[in-house]
Amino acid sequence: MKSFLPLILGFVFHVSFAQSADSLNQRAKSFFYLNPDSAEFYANQAAIMAAAEDSLNDLAEAFSNIGFSLLQKGLASEAHQQFLKAYGLYLETGSLEGIGSVQNYIGNVYSNQGRYQEAVSFFKNSRETYLKAGIHKFEARQTGNIGISYQKLGKPDSALTYLNESVRLYESGKTPENADVIRIYLGRTYLALGKTDSARILLKSAVRSVSNHPEHLKFLAVGYLDLASLNVKERKTQEARLYLDSAFSIVEPHDFKNEIRDFYRIQAEYFELVGKPEEALSSYKNFIGVKELLRDDDISRMTADFQNSLDTELKRREIEFLKTDIRIQNQTRIFLIVTVGSLLLFSIGLGVFLFLYRKKSKELKESHDALKVINLDLQDALENVKVLKGFIPICANCKKVRDDSGFWSQIESYIMENSEAQISHGICPDCMGSLYGIKKKEK
């Protein structure tokens, strides 16, 4: 029952006050540096509320806040995954401010993992994205992050350029407490350049100012560690011990792993300096243990990155295979359509041709049959035709005609016997006059 009590209380709390995803996100941010566990809790609640409200921007911000909370606990790989979720959502909504924010967070991830060149690239991209959106309020932060990354890359000249510009931007924006955070890294850069006096002045001044701002505890621990390291190198054991204890009181309860690693390294050097080899050995072992833990986190990250790359490659190949398969299916479909269409057109053409051929053949046959009938009729006619030809002997007086047998017959009989003609009789006008006295009519 006790294990469910926090959940019940949390549920009652949120129902009673009806907090929105936005208010939960703001509450999460207030715990970033003081209590990352509480920040993560409220960010998770914001994610649930944003999903219920179907608010992509609030959901993206919740994922960013979860990631930053994890980053504060030294869980860089897990934080990276949350930032990638947020980045995808911000791309979907087109929020340049959100994209710039996530780019900055991913830069912090790479910085925590010691991948400072990649961190510089993301911090610069973040600054450009913000400026493209017309947002200048984060320019000082991005410039400072670039300078810090250059400092860790061992490029002090570039680091000084960006860090000094960041201080100027913070002071012109009336946020000197943030300028003091950057001054801590300026002090660290001066240490790298061997300018110990300038480094000490800057670090002490910055630590004094930052200590008044609880949200900057991590940077305060960085300042204490730098001052401890400086005093160890100058063999000032009492001051070194004081700064080490101050740093430990911050990094141990908040589980700032990178700073805990640096603490054990500097403390080992301190114990060597004061002649306590056993304590020095113990601190070195702790240093190596935390370093290995961070290395394991790096290995986990690299394994996760490799798995992501592998998954991406497999998905790419799967997509290529699907594209090829679709292309082959489309080509096959087109081939089948063309083939079937061609066969259909050929069939239609052949059908039309056969229809016309049969029709023409029928017409030709009918014509041939008709001609055959006509030819038969003509043949019959020709066979029945009697032609009169040659010389016909005829009497000059009585007009009788002699046939081939030598008999004389009337011309009418001869014509009827030797042709198809039929003879009829009548009297011409001249004979009518001579026989009957009927005169021919004048025309």
Structural domains in the chain (count) = 2
Nearest to 190 by CA among 218, 229, 151: 151
293, part of any domain: yes
Q: What is the pLDDT of residues 318-370, one digit of tens each?
A: 556 656 766 777 788 788 888 888 888 888 888 888 888 787 777 777 777 77
- Statement to judge: residues 317 and 226 lie in one domain: yes
Which structure tokens are listed for 145? 């992050």
pTM of this prediction exceeds 0.75: no
Residues 6+ apart with CB under 8 A from 336: none
**Mutual angle of helices 237-254 and 257-273, in 10-degree steps:** 150
- Domain encompassing residue 219: 213-336
Q: Is residue 137 scored above 60 in pLDDT?
A: yes
397, part of any domain: yes
Nearest to 43 by CA among 59, 56, 28, 23: 28
Q: Are 93 and 74 in contact (CB under 8 A)?
A: no
**Mutual angle of helices 76-93 and 96-112, in 10-degree steps:** 160
- Statement to judge: residues 218 and 280 lie in one domain: yes
- Statement to judge: residues 324 and 423 lie in one domain: no
Mean pLDDT of the chain: 81
190, part of any domain: no
Q: Are 36 and 72 in contact (CB under 8 A)?
A: yes
Which pLDDT does position 61 carry in this prediction? 92
Between 35 and 242, name the one with better pLDDT.
Answer: 242
Q: What is the CATH number of the domain that holds 238?
A: 1.25.40.10
- Statement to judge: residues 288 and 396 lie in one domain: no
Average pLDDT over every residue of 428-438: 76
360, part of any domain: no
Q: Are 140 and 166 in contact (CB under 8 A)?
A: yes
290, part of any domain: yes
- Statement to judge: residues 315 and 253 lie in one domain: yes
Q: What is the pLDDT of residues 283-328, one digit of tens each?
A: 888 888 887 776 655 545 544 554 555 555 555 565 566 567 667 7
Between 400 and 272, name the one with better pLDDT.
Answer: 272
314, part of any domain: yes
Which pLDDT does position 381 carry in this prediction? 62
Between 323 and 262, name the one with better pLDDT.
Answer: 262
75, part of any domain: no
Which structure tokens are listed for 130? 């913000």
Q: Which stretches does DSSP call E strand in 330-415?
A: 401-402, 408-409
